[in-house]
Chains A and B, each alone.
Chain A
Amino acid sequence: MKRIFAVALGILTAIGGFVDIGDLVTNALVGSRFGMSLAWVVVVGVVGICVFSEMSGRVAAVSGRATFDLVRERLGPRVGLANLVASMGVTFLTFIAEIGGVALSLEIATSVNELLWVPVVAALLWIVLWRVRFAVLENVFGLLGLSLVVFAVALWQLSPDWGGLWQQVTSPSPPSGESWTQYSYYAVALFGAALTPYEVFFFSSGGVEERWTAKDVATMRLNVFLGFPLGGALSLTIAAVAAVVFLPAGVQVEALVQVALPVALALGKIGLVIALIGFFAATFGAACETGLSVGYSIAQFYGWRWGKFVPPRQAARFHLVVLLCTVLAVPVLLTTVDPIAVTEYSVVFSALALPLTYLPILVIANDPDYMGKRVNGRLANALGTVYLVVIVVASVAAIPLMILTKGGQ
């Protein structure tokens, strides 16, 4: 019974933890401009995060090494360092976007300007990272994040033309008024939102800290293969309500409050409150994950002691990095940079930075020195190779598309 509960909890938190500011904004934006015609990208991205997380989770369980630990072993110090800088940069950018998302959620609830919330949120966040236990953090925000299921209820309540929505899903091309380059740019952005490097850093580091062994691989797979696809389904409903409400009206999503607007239309104030709780939990939880992930990646690159399971004074460098990140994020947000714009860039840069993290994991997952008999099977390698190609294509296309579309305008 206890075990079933633990497994269920893991799946539920994987669902709630899947969605972050990048998924919220990108899905709603894409839904408002392209309807459901990019839904296939979410599916491709979710399968990708399943493949990547399963491999890095298995590597963590069998070899006891977290993702960034292995990056340098396979890429060497030079390329490894380039990857560290790129991955930390993207994760830090995402961290800023998440904090901005928390502040914006509070602004919507209180109409007190987000800029006033930023220092408060940062301080609260740091206290949580310093004092609150890892399991509490993961479970509380994961479960609260489940309140985003309100988007599915809202979709049903809006009683959309289901046939029309399905029509959009099955016609993967830009709707009138949108070009193929815009369509492709947002395809890359959605892909990056679903397959964010920090999710894998966090997932595998958590596994190492919780001392997973080969015995835990089955549970880990259940979490990944059930939790992430359901989380992906949740982000599709966010796109769908935006497609129902905004696409016909010609409204483009550019603020977090708009993401929640369809829920208010469908379910009134109660729905809005639940959606805002979901926003808060999803962004705050992801802010914790990204903040820790910046620390994980640099600590693992240099071989420092890291983690939430030891007293902070025994992982002093790690906690110093987390503290510095939190402190640095505040002035960046106080420049009045729009957190939504930061989010839009962070998901595209995620797609850009992904291959250099993915490749070493794919290689190590095949290395019997690390994995013994738990090396990739045929399916994992077939999917792993397909995704290597997909990830490289998305990465190569990211910057040219960003220039061609002037950042999606």
Chain B
Amino acid sequence: MPSESAATGAVHRLGELLGAEVVLPDGTKAGQVHDVRLAGGPGLQDYVVDGFVVRARGEGAFLGYDRRAVLGPWLLRALVRAANRDARYVRWRAVRRIDWEAKLVVVERLDPLEDERAPA
């Protein structure tokens, strides 16, 4: 059970996850939740949280350049990519616990961030 809340059916907001502190089990700070990746289907109601895009500094990364291969103009992409080099990904199975009150996500490990897959 990756969640603290015992009762299933508990309702949350995605916005509560954005900016949440990400820590390793030993308490080391790993960054902040920058985006939440959803996967599943066929309907939107069947999409579940697949993992978190984590950055050392949650704010400031923007514009969608951070996770896309082909985007111009060159100058902007280079600047934003440079600022986003620290982005990592936490898979759902690496999430140990979410503390919604404290806006804290405890994770076991962080993986490299892959560019998101193309639309189906």
- Give the B-binding residues of A (Cβ under 8 A): 74-76, 359-360, 362-363, 366-369, 375-376, 381-382, 384-385, 388
Contact = CB atoms under 8 A, between A and B. Distances in A.
B102 interface: no
A363 B70 contact: no
A265 B51 CA distance: 73
Contacts of B63: 74, 359-360, 363
Contacts of B73: 362, 366, 376, 381-382, 384-385
A367 B62 contact: no
7 contacts: A362-B73, A362-B76, A366-B71, A368-B70, A369-B119, A385-B73, A388-B75
A382 B74 CA distance: 9
Given A368-B70, A375-B72, 8 more contacts: A75-B62, A359-B63, A362-B73, A362-B76, A376-B73, A384-B73, A385-B75, A388-B76
Nearest to A377: B72
A82 B45 CA distance: 33
A360 B64 CA distance: 10
B30 to A, nearest CB: 22
Contacts of B76: 362-363, 385, 388
Given A74-B62, A74-B63, A76-B62, A367 B74 contact: no
Q: Which 3 A-B pairs have the closest CB atoms?
A: A381-B73, A385-B73, A381-B72
Given A74-B63, A76-B62, A367 B75 contact: no
B65 interface: yes
Interface in B17-67: 62-65
A382 B119 CA distance: 28
B13 to A, nearest CB: 13
A375 B76 CA distance: 15
Nearest to A385: B73
Contacts of B68: 367
A363 B68 CA distance: 12
B64 A363 contact: yes
A359 B80 CA distance: 13
B80 to A, nearest CB: 9
Contact of B71 (A75, A76, A360, A367): A367
B120 to A, nearest CB: 13
Contacts of B75: 385, 388
Contacts of A385: 73-76
A76 B76 CA distance: 18
Task: Give the interface centre of B64, B65, B68 by most chain A CB atoms within 10 Å.
Answer: B64
A122 to B, nearest CB: 40
Contacts of B72: 366, 375-376, 381
Nearest to B64: A367
Contacts of A367: 64, 68, 71
